[in-house]
Amino acid sequence: MVSADRRTTAGFTLIELLTVIAIIGILAALIFPTVGKVRETAQRTVDANNLREVVKAAQIYAADNNDRLPDPQAIPSSTLNADDKVMLWPGILAYRGILKDPAFYFAKNDPVFNGAYPAAIIDPGTRNTLATDFTTRVLSFEFVGGLRMSDAPTTPVAFTRGLRNDGQWDVNSAVYRDAGGHIAFLGGNVQFYPNLTEAANQLTLANGRKGSNVLQAIPANARVYATAFGGVGTPAGTPASLPQ
């Protein structure tokens, strides 16, 4: 007769334990990349929204500036000063009090972003000098300076850093590596272009044709500005290239 308080203890055998571990490993291998992909896609959406707000801010600036969007070439150093003119593009908006949050200019997915946003764009002590913590960063976007509201709505205003003149994003310098990037247009729309997109049909050039070179999609008096290892943009500004 078995005692009432006698208990039978059961446990996993070694084979059963190894089987469970293997199943957990398989499930983790399936789930983790999916979660990472969802987070990456969500952050890209945030970046697109930031670009959209940047374009809106530039249009607000234009409404009080003879329909001219921010142009680093047209700002006297006595008004706002920076060694790299690319920093003047967001600096102009912050100086006017239109878009003062530096977080709009950095993407969390950017490999060179250190995870901490600058405290300000304009130095609060001088109010006409850009903050050092901002000017020493690598911005996640490139900007077109010298645009007017009368330019075509298909004109690029800003785009994810690393876009080459062949319409592809560079694996070494782009925010999303060779996955693609966003382009924000004067008409207000923001579109993500994967590198798998046929480059020849990405942009509407200044002559109305389709092409890949963003420098040919902006007016002759415009320039593209970018911080370190940008795509077509440079800190001093890359001039537009007229379509052939």
Could you tell me the residue ranges of all domains in the chain?
Answer: 20-239
Question: pLDDT by residue (tens digit) across 104-155?
Answer: 999 999 999 999 999 999 999 888 899 999 999 999 999 999 999 999 999 9
Query: In the predicted model, what is the mean pLDDT of residues 207-213?
Result: 89
Please list the helix, strand and coil fractions of the chain in percent, rounded to the nearest 5, in that order: 30, 15, 50
Q: Three-class SS of residue 183?
A: strand
Q: Three-class SS of residue 191?
A: strand
| Model pLDDT, residue 1 | 47
Higher pLDDT, 15 or 176: 176
Higher pLDDT, 202 or 104: 104
Q: What residue ranges in the chain does DSSP mark as E strands? A: 141-145, 156-160, 180-185, 190-194, 203-204, 210-211, 223-225, 238-239
Q: Is the pLDDT of residue 9 over 70?
A: no
| Model pLDDT, residue 48 | 97
pTM of this structure: 0.84
Tell me what the pLDDT averaged over the chain comes to: 88
Q: Is the pLDDT of residue 198 over 90?
A: no
Q: What's the CA gap between 13 and 124, in Å, rounded?
A: 67
Alpha-helical (H) ranges within the chain are 14-63, 88-95, 132-135
Cα–Cα distance list, 168 to 87, 100, 109, 151, 171 (Å):
24, 31, 18, 24, 9
Question: pLDDT by residue (tens digit) across 74-114?
Answer: 998 888 888 899 999 999 999 999 999 999 999 999 999 99
Cα angle: 71, vertex 75, 81; to 5 degrees: 115
One-letter identity of residue 53: E
CB atoms within 10 A of CB 207: 11
Among 98-107, 203-212, 217-226, 232-241, name the one with the lowest average pLDDT.
203-212
Query: In the predicted model, what is the mean pLDDT of residues 19-47?
Result: 76
